[in-house]
Amino acid sequence: MTTEKPAPLPDSIFEELAIHRDPDNVFHQTMEHVLAASMITELPHHQQIILAQPNNEIIVQFPVRMDDGHHKLFKGYRVQHNNALGPYKGGIRYHPDVSLDHVKSLATLMTMKCALVGVPFGGAKGGLRCDPWNMSPGEQERATRRLTTALSTQIGPEYDIPAPDVGTNEQIMAWIADTYQQMSDGADQQDNKRVVTGKPVCCGGSLGRTKATGQGLVFVLEEAMPSLGIPIEGMTCSLIGYGNVGGWTGQLLSGLGAKVQAVMDHSGAIYNEDHLPAQHLFEYVGKNGGVAGFPQSEPISTEDFYSLNVDVLIPAALEQMIGPDEASLINAKVVAEGANAPTTPRGDEVLMERGVEILPAILCNSGGVTVSYFEWVQNKTSTTWTEAEVDKRLRSHMTEAAARVRSAAGKYHCGTRIASFCAAVELIGEVYQVRGVFP
């Protein structure tokens, strides 16, 4: 694929949006990608500015009784970026660093992902500023039920459907569904479990949802790597993050004969020249909270981790982890982005200059929302699909999305990242073109 850079964006569009451009702001970075793609695909000006900003930004604050009896005030966010293609859809993150701009960036990326991977949803994201790893299950439950109550008029099974993200899981989705259902009219109560996806299977979740983001990434790699001359069997890889996305990606790749040689997370970086046993490592992280101290490995420094000569580096932790310094160390042939926005624009430039192939995040991590859509459809039609059926459908969405990115890169002579945004905004632009703008 070509790696030509798009032309710089004019300042006039930022002035029109009253935005003081900050190159380090993660929302501004995302917006620049959307605007660059909107200009390359020649969307009319009004569509460019619609996509540059979210439709709705909701902030709620509420008290929660903590286990020691004191009340703590929590701040929650829900940002609904765009619903031209269908109901708003996007995860809820529990993390101490959650901020409005952070959530705006993630909501915008959700709009792009849904359009790219061909699911009829718009983009949204939510966040609760908290430290879930230092909250008891009771505190998490009370905070979740209060958050759901505070957002109850802003979410709904046909309007805005949350899902898990960093710091949240299927248990939290079950509490959201239950709270929302308890607040519903009798006739709608059962159907209203569709208000969230990523639920436990016994509560209406889909088979294959927990591993879906990792599985989607693996399907993209299966499609892309052979054409780069790297077969999956024997392929070496390193991962940043070994939570839901990283852990499942590592296990599934190992199952296909790839070698996970190194993993770095918040607790440190570990290496095994032959390969790390991916499943044992996942169980170890589940028990110990991080990869540090895993017996069948040696600790390595952050610099050594980034410098490893592997076929694929998979960032699957947090945003903005690969800046220019990290990018200049990277010796991987391919960076396949499991996390949202893991590479900064400067990091991106360095990777492109160094000839590293980038498989962009809105392609690689869209498996989660795709299987969330499958869960929503199964709930709506009172059906249950087998895991094999879910995987088959997921593979087809991922393979088609990868082909659309490739085709956009050829058509617009741009790198894969901007091409992935071009493929997404093309579809949304078509919808606005046909339906017009009210009134």
| Per annotation, catalytic residue among 89, 125, 193, 333 | 125
Q: Does 94 bind ligand NAD (CB under 6 A)?
A: no
Nearer to ligand NAD, 157 or 164 (CB): 164
Q: Would residue 125 show up in a list of annotated catalytic residues for this protein?
A: yes
Is the peptide bond prior to 277 cis by the omega test (within 30 degrees of 0)? Answer: no
Stretch of 127-135, 220-228, 241-249, 430-438 contacting ligand NAD, by CB under 6 A: 241-249
Binding-site member from 76, 126, 132, 243 for ligand NAD (CB under 6 A): 243
Smallest distance, ligand NAD to C-beta of residue 369, A: 7
CB of 174 to ligand NAD, least distance (A): 16
User: Using CB under 6 A as the criterion, what x/- string covers residues 254-283 for binding ligand NAD?
Assistant: ----------xxx-----------------
Give the nearest distance from C-beta 355 to ligand NAD in angstroms: 25
Q: In what order do the strands lie in the sheet with 56-65?
A: 56-65, 71-82, 123-129, 88-95, 160-164
Nearer to ligand NAD, 40 or 423 (CB): 423
Spatial contact of 236 and 384, defined as CB atoms under 8 Å apart: no
Candidate list 338, 347, 360, 415; residue touching ligand NAD; CB under 6 A: 338
Binding mask 170-209 for ligand NAD (x = CB under 6 A): ----------------------------------------
Task: Name the residue nearer to ligand NAD (CB basis): 161 or 339.
Answer: 339
- Which residue from 94, 175, 242, 421 is in contact with ligand NAD, where contact means CB under 6 A? 242
Tell me the residue nearest to ligand NAD as measured from the CB. 243
Q: At what angle do helices 170-182 and 137-151 cross, to 10 degrees?
A: 50
Question: Of 6 and 338, which has the nearer Cβ to ligand NAD?
Answer: 338
CB of 76 to ligand NAD, least distance (A): 17
Tell me whether residue 39 or residue 166 sits nearer to ligand NAD (CB atom).
166
Of the candidate residues 85, 220, 225, 339, the single one contacting ligand NAD (CB under 6 A): 339
Q: Which is nearer to ligand NAD, 262 or 414 (CB)?
A: 262
Pick between residue 30 and residue 365 the one whose CB is nearest to ligand NAD: 365
- Shortest distance, position 2 Cβ to ligand NAD, whole Å: 26
Structure tokens that stand for 274 in this block = 């032959």
165 binds ligand NAD (CB under 6 A): yes
Nearer to ligand NAD, 169 or 399 (CB): 169
- Give whichever of 125 and 406 is closer to ligand NAD, judged by the CB atom: 125
Angle between helices 387-412 and 100-117 (to 10 degrees): 100
Give me the 296-335 binding string for ligand NAD, x by CB under 6 A, dash otherwise. --------------------xxx-----------------
The correct pick among 58, 115, 245, 359 for binding ligand NAD (CB under 6 A) is 245
3-state secondary structure the chain: CCCCCCCCCCHHHHHHCCCCCCCCCHHHHHHHHHHHHHHHCCCCHHHHHHHHCCCEEEEEEEEEECCCCCEEEEEEEEEEEECCCCCEEEEEEEECCCCHHHHHHHHHHHHHHHHHHCCCCCEEEEEEECCHHHCCHHHHHHHHHHHHHHHCCCCECCCEEEEECCCCCHHHHHHHHHHHHHCCCHHHCCHHHHHCCCCCHHHCCCCCCCCHHHHHHHHHHHHHCHHHCCCCCCCEEEEECCCHHHHHHHHHHHHCCCEEEEEEECCEEEECCCCCCHHHHHHHHHHHCCCCCCCCCEEECHHHHHHCCCCEEEECCCCCCECHHHHHHCCCCEEECCCCCCECHHHHHHHHHCCCEEECHHHHCCHHHHHHHHHHHHHHHCCCCCHHHHHHHHHHHHHHHHHHHHHHHHHHCCCHHHHHHHHHHHHHHHHHHHHCCCC
Residue 223 β-bridge partners:
none
Instruction: For residue 394, state whether it binds ligand NAD (rule: CB under 6 A).
Output: no
Q: In whole angstroms, how close is the CB of 368 to ligand NAD at the nearest point? A: 3
Which one of residues 108, 340, 344, 379 is an interface residue with ligand NAD (CB under 6 A)? 340
Judging by DSSP bridges, how do beta strands 123-129 and 88-95 pair with one another?
A: parallel
**Shortest Cβ 71–ligand NAD spacing (Å):** 27
Rounded-to-integer distance, Cα 426 and Cα 415, Å:
16
What residues act catalytically? 125
* Binding-site ranges for ligand NAD (CB under 6 A): 164-167, 213, 240-246, 264-266, 290, 316-318, 338-340, 365, 368
